[in-house]
Structure 1
Amino acid sequence: MRIAVVGGSLAGLFTATLLTQDGHDVTVYERSVHGLEGRGAGLLGRRETFAILRASGCEHVARVGVVARDRIVFSDAGSTVDQKMPPQTQISWDYIYRVFRQRMLDGAYLVDRNVEHLREQADHVVLRFTDGSEAVADLVIGADGIASVARAIVDGPTAANAYAGYVGWRGLLPELALPGFAADDLLERFAYFRMPHSHVIGFLVPGPNGETETGSRRYNWVWYRPAVEPTARDQVLTDLEGRVHPYSLPPGAVSEGARENLVDDARRLLPRAFAAAIEATTRPFVQGIFDYETERMVSRRIALVGDAAFVVRPHTGMGIAKAAADALALRKHLSSATLADALRGYKQERVQVGTAIAASGRELGAHLI
Structure 2
Amino acid sequence: MASLRIRIVGGSIGGLSAAALLRQDGHDVRIYERSAAGLAGRGAGLVSQRELFALLRAVGCEHVARIGVVAFERIYFDRDGGIAERHATPQTQISWDHLYRTLRAKVPDDGYVLDRAVRAVTQGPQGARLLFGDGGEEEADLVIGADGLGSVVRPVVTGGPAPNSYAGYVAWRGLYPEDRLPAEAALLRDRFAFYTMPRSHALGYLVPGPGGETTPGQRRYNWVWYRPVPAAALEATLTDAEGRPHPHSLAPGQVRAQAAAALRADAARLLPPPFAAVVVAEPQPFIQAIFDYEAPVMAAGHVALLGDAAFVARPHTAMGVAKAAGDAMALRRHLAEAPSVTDALALYSHERCAAGSAITAYGRRLGAALE
Same fold (TM over 0.5): yes
TM-score by length of 1: 0.97
Aligned residue identity for 2:67? V
Q: 1:36-77: CA deviations, max 9, x gaps?
A: 112222212211122211111112211221111201100134
Q: Matches of 1:82 and 1:212 in 2, distance apart?
A: 27
Query: Which among 205, 208, 227 is matched to residue 206 of structure 1?
Result: 208
The answer for the alignment partner of 2:94 in structure 1 is 91
Query: Which among 112, 117, 121 is matched to residue 114 of structure 1?
Result: 117
- Counting only pairs closer than 5 Å after superposition, residues 59-70 of structure 1 correspond to structure 2 as 59-70=62-73
1:215 lines up with 2:224 in the alignment: no
Aligned residue identity for 2:260? R
Aligned residue identity for 2:151? S
Q: Residues 39 and 251 of structure 1 are in contact (CA less than 8 Å); yes or no, is this contact kept in structure 2?
A: no
Query: Which among 197, 202, 224 is matched to residue 226 of structure 2?
Result: 224
1:72 lines up with 2:80 in the alignment: no
Q: Cα offset for 1:19?
A: 0.5
Q: Cα offset for 1:234?
A: 1.4
Q: How many residues align?
A: 367
TM-score by length of 2: 0.97
Q: Matches of 1:268 and 1:122 in 2, distance apart?
A: 60
Q: Matches of 1:92 and 1:264 in 2, distance apart?
A: 30
Q: 1:264-307: CA deviations, max 9, x gaps?
A: 11111111111111111112111110000001110010111000
Q: Matches of 1:64 and 1:252 in 2, distance apart?
A: 29
The answer for the alignment partner of 2:252 in structure 1 is 251
Please say which of residues 45-54 and 140-149 is displaced more in the overlay.
45-54
Q: Cα offset for 1:119?
A: 1.4
Q: 1:15-48: CA deviations, max 9, x gaps?
A: 1111011111100000111111122222122111
Secondary structure at 1:86's aligned position in 2? coil
Q: Cα offset for 1:101?
A: 1.4
Q: Residues 157 and 300 of structure 2 are in contact (CA less than 8 Å); yes or no, is this contact kept in structure 1?
A: yes
The answer for the alignment partner of 2:297 in structure 1 is 296
Segments of 5+ residues of structure 1 without an aligned counterpart are none
The answer for the alignment partner of 1:27 in structure 2 is 30
The answer for the alignment partner of 1:159 in structure 2 is 162
Q: 1:196-247: CA deviations, max 9, x gaps?
A: 00001111110000000000000111110000233x2112211110111010
**Aligned-residue CA RMSD in angstroms?**
1.1
Query: Which among 337, 350, 353 is matched to residue 355 of structure 2?
Result: 353
Q: Matches of 2:319 and 2:39 in 1, distance apart?
A: 20
Q: Matches of 2:366 and 2:327 in 1, distance apart?
A: 22
Percentage of matched positions with identical amino acids: 57
Query: Which among 125, 130, 135 is matched to residue 128 of structure 2?
Result: 125
Q: Residues 81 and 274 of structure 2 are in contact (CA less than 8 Å); yes or no, is this contact kept in structure 1?
A: no
Aligned residue identity for 1:30? E
